[in-house]
Amino acid sequence: MARASEHLNWVGLRYTNVFGSGEEQKGEMASILSQLLRQAAADVPVRLFADSLTASRDYVPVEVVARTCLALIDTPVPSGVYNLGSGAPVSFATLLEWSASFVQAPLAVQLVANPLSDRYQYWTGADLTKLRSVLPTLEHLDQDRIRRDARELFDEFRGGKP
Protein backbone atom coordinates (compact mmCIF):
# COMPACT_ATOMS: atom_id res chain seq x y z
CA MET A 1 0.00 0.00 0.00
CA ALA A 2 1.46 3.34 -1.05
CA ARG A 3 1.74 6.15 1.46
CA ALA A 4 -0.02 9.39 0.63
CA SER A 5 3.31 11.23 1.02
CA GLU A 6 4.77 9.24 -1.87
CA HIS A 7 2.40 11.05 -4.21
CA LEU A 8 2.92 14.56 -2.89
CA ASN A 9 5.17 16.90 -4.80
CA TRP A 10 7.26 19.15 -2.62
CA VAL A 11 9.96 21.71 -3.20
CA GLY A 12 12.57 22.97 -0.79
CA LEU A 13 14.41 26.16 -1.66
CA ARG A 14 17.89 26.85 -0.33
CA TYR A 15 18.23 30.63 -0.49
CA THR A 16 21.45 32.55 -0.58
CA ASN A 17 21.56 36.08 0.89
CA VAL A 18 18.08 37.50 0.41
CA PHE A 19 17.93 41.29 0.56
CA GLY A 20 15.37 44.00 0.08
CA SER A 21 12.91 46.39 1.56
CA GLY A 22 11.68 45.62 5.09
CA GLU A 23 14.88 43.91 6.17
CA GLU A 24 15.52 46.35 9.01
CA GLN A 25 13.43 44.19 11.33
CA LYS A 26 16.17 41.54 11.10
CA GLY A 27 18.63 43.85 12.89
CA GLU A 28 22.13 42.36 12.96
CA MET A 29 20.87 39.37 10.98
CA ALA A 30 20.05 41.53 7.94
CA SER A 31 22.13 40.74 4.87
CA ILE A 32 25.57 42.33 4.84
CA LEU A 33 24.56 44.10 1.63
CA SER A 34 21.65 45.75 3.44
CA GLN A 35 23.78 46.59 6.48
CA LEU A 36 26.48 48.26 4.37
CA LEU A 37 23.96 50.22 2.32
CA ARG A 38 22.15 51.40 5.44
CA GLN A 39 25.42 52.59 7.02
CA ALA A 40 26.49 54.36 3.82
CA ALA A 41 23.08 56.01 3.43
CA ALA A 42 23.26 57.24 7.04
CA ASP A 43 26.75 58.71 6.43
CA VAL A 44 28.25 56.69 9.28
CA PRO A 45 31.46 54.68 9.04
CA VAL A 46 30.89 51.37 7.30
CA ARG A 47 32.10 48.53 9.53
CA LEU A 48 33.57 45.35 8.07
CA PHE A 49 35.80 42.57 9.28
CA ALA A 50 39.35 43.40 8.22
CA ASP A 51 39.81 40.00 6.57
CA SER A 52 36.54 40.10 4.61
CA LEU A 53 37.19 42.54 1.75
CA THR A 54 37.72 39.63 -0.63
CA ALA A 55 34.78 37.68 0.81
CA SER A 56 31.94 37.25 -1.68
CA ARG A 57 28.28 36.51 -1.22
CA ASP A 58 25.54 35.51 -3.63
CA TYR A 59 22.68 38.00 -3.19
CA VAL A 60 19.11 37.58 -4.37
CA PRO A 61 16.42 40.28 -4.21
CA VAL A 62 13.41 39.31 -2.11
CA GLU A 63 11.12 40.16 -5.04
CA VAL A 64 12.86 37.50 -7.14
CA VAL A 65 12.40 34.97 -4.34
CA ALA A 66 8.68 35.77 -4.20
CA ARG A 67 8.22 35.54 -7.98
CA THR A 68 10.15 32.27 -8.09
CA CYS A 69 7.98 30.78 -5.34
CA LEU A 70 4.83 31.78 -7.26
CA ALA A 71 6.24 30.29 -10.47
CA LEU A 72 6.98 27.02 -8.66
CA ILE A 73 3.40 26.88 -7.39
CA ASP A 74 2.17 27.15 -10.98
CA THR A 75 4.76 24.83 -12.53
CA PRO A 76 4.84 21.12 -11.76
CA VAL A 77 8.44 20.22 -10.90
CA PRO A 78 10.00 17.08 -9.49
CA SER A 79 10.18 16.99 -5.71
CA GLY A 80 13.54 18.10 -4.41
CA VAL A 81 15.69 20.81 -2.92
CA TYR A 82 16.75 23.61 -5.24
CA ASN A 83 19.24 26.47 -4.83
CA LEU A 84 17.92 29.98 -5.31
CA GLY A 85 20.33 32.89 -5.60
CA SER A 86 21.82 35.01 -8.32
CA GLY A 87 24.67 32.68 -9.17
CA ALA A 88 26.83 35.82 -9.34
CA PRO A 89 28.66 36.39 -6.03
CA VAL A 90 29.71 39.96 -5.23
CA SER A 91 32.74 40.78 -3.10
CA PHE A 92 32.46 43.03 -0.07
CA ALA A 93 35.03 45.32 -1.71
CA THR A 94 32.66 45.68 -4.67
CA LEU A 95 29.80 46.49 -2.28
CA LEU A 96 31.96 49.25 -0.82
CA GLU A 97 32.65 50.59 -4.34
CA TRP A 98 28.94 50.58 -5.13
CA SER A 99 28.13 52.33 -1.86
CA ALA A 100 30.74 55.02 -2.49
CA SER A 101 29.30 55.61 -5.96
CA PHE A 102 25.77 55.87 -4.50
CA VAL A 103 26.99 58.38 -1.87
CA GLN A 104 29.12 60.12 -4.53
CA ALA A 105 31.93 60.47 -2.02
CA PRO A 106 34.62 58.34 -0.44
CA LEU A 107 33.29 56.11 2.32
CA ALA A 108 34.60 56.07 5.85
CA VAL A 109 35.39 52.39 6.35
CA GLN A 110 36.19 50.94 9.74
CA LEU A 111 37.92 47.55 9.53
CA VAL A 112 37.58 45.50 12.70
CA ALA A 113 39.12 42.21 13.79
CA ASN A 114 37.11 39.13 12.88
CA PRO A 115 36.49 37.10 16.04
CA LEU A 116 35.05 34.29 13.91
CA SER A 117 37.79 33.99 11.29
CA ASP A 118 38.18 30.23 11.86
CA ARG A 119 34.53 29.61 10.96
CA TYR A 120 33.56 32.67 8.92
CA GLN A 121 31.88 32.07 5.58
CA TYR A 122 34.08 33.85 3.05
CA TRP A 123 32.20 32.75 -0.08
CA THR A 124 28.68 31.74 -1.06
CA GLY A 125 27.44 31.02 -4.53
CA ALA A 126 24.32 29.24 -5.73
CA ASP A 127 24.52 26.64 -8.46
CA LEU A 128 21.21 27.23 -10.24
CA THR A 129 21.56 24.41 -12.77
CA LYS A 130 18.96 22.16 -11.14
CA LEU A 131 16.39 24.95 -10.67
CA ARG A 132 16.89 26.30 -14.21
CA SER A 133 16.38 22.79 -15.61
CA VAL A 134 12.87 22.62 -14.14
CA LEU A 135 12.00 26.32 -14.26
CA PRO A 136 13.36 27.72 -17.54
CA THR A 137 11.58 31.03 -16.89
CA LEU A 138 13.79 31.65 -13.85
CA GLU A 139 14.99 35.26 -13.91
CA HIS A 140 18.58 35.77 -14.94
CA LEU A 141 20.47 37.75 -12.33
CA ASP A 142 23.93 39.20 -12.73
CA GLN A 143 26.01 41.73 -10.83
CA ASP A 144 24.47 44.61 -12.81
CA ARG A 145 20.98 43.59 -11.70
CA ILE A 146 22.09 43.15 -8.08
CA ARG A 147 23.70 46.61 -8.24
CA ARG A 148 20.48 48.18 -9.57
CA ASP A 149 18.43 46.60 -6.79
CA ALA A 150 21.08 47.63 -4.25
CA ARG A 151 20.79 51.20 -5.53
CA GLU A 152 17.02 51.14 -5.05
CA LEU A 153 17.48 49.90 -1.49
CA PHE A 154 20.11 52.57 -0.82
CA ASP A 155 17.71 55.24 -2.10
CA GLU A 156 15.01 53.86 0.19
CA PHE A 157 17.41 54.11 3.15
CA ARG A 158 18.14 57.70 2.12
CA GLY A 159 14.44 58.50 2.27
CA GLY A 160 13.82 58.12 -1.43
CA LYS A 161 16.42 60.73 -2.37
CA PRO A 162 18.92 59.58 -5.03
Give the whole-angstrom CA distance, residue 31 versus residue 65: 15
Indicate the SS3 state at residue 115: coil
Residue 117 has what pLDDT? 95
DSSP structure string for 3-26 = -GGGG---EEEEE-EEE-TTGGGG
Residue 28's pLDDT is what?
A: 86
Rg (C-alpha) for the chain, rounded Å, is 18
Each of the 162 residues of the chain gets a pLDDT tens digit; together they read 555 455 678 999 999 999 999 888 888 889 999 999 999 999 999 999 999 999 999 999 999 999 999 999 999 999 999 999 999 999 999 999 999 999 999 999 999 999 999 999 999 999 999 999 999 999 999 999 999 999 999 999 999 765
pLDDT for position 7: 62
**What CA–CA distance (Å, rounded) separates 121 from 104?**
30
Q: What is the dihedral of CA 52, 147, 27, 84, to 10 degrees?
A: -90
How far apart CA 20 and CA 152 sit, in angstroms, is: 9
pLDDT, position 161: 63
What pLDDT does residue 114 have? Answer: 97
C-alpha dist (Å) from residue 145 to 106, 125, 152: 23, 16, 11
| Full-model pTM | 0.90
